[in-house]
Amino acid sequence: MNKNFLKISTLIILSAAIVIIAAQNGFCTEDLASHVPDVQNTVAESKSDTIIKFVIAMVGVMLSSIVIYLGLTIYNKFFVDKSLFPNNGPDDVLNTPKSVDEAVTFFIKRNKLC
């Protein structure tokens, strides 16, 4: 009974904390509102500025992808022990077994139980 009471009381306290945190409006809403400029005073960006920013972001994504790819390629080439990943033979290909007998045979061979 003691473990159940502890679980239930923990659950109630946790849910009450979530409700209290979710109900808060935030401590800085009034300060934030004073710093936000009026909508009438803002100048809308032109379409070309938006397109240029998008292209710059996409070039950054492409460059970071290339850097990550090259870094992982270098890491695999020089720092990964090749003996950990032996070449699998054609019998070790992970095809879906078509029958129960095939599945059992594959399981036994794969786990080296025979």
pLDDT at 90: 59
Q: Which helix (H) or strand (E) holds 80?
A: none
Q: Which residues of the chain have pLDDT under 70?
A: 1, 24-45, 83-95, 114
The residues, ordered by sequence, that sit 6+ positions from 106 with a Cβ below 8 Å of its Cβ are: 97
pLDDT at 40: 47
pLDDT at 105: 86
Phi-psi region of 69 (alpha: psi -120 to 50; beta: other; left: phi over 0): alpha
Residue 96 is classified by DSSP as: P
pLDDT at 65: 94
Structure tokens at 34: 């004073």
* Rounded Cα–Cα distance for residues 37 and 27 (Å): 20
**Rg value, the chain, Cα:** 30
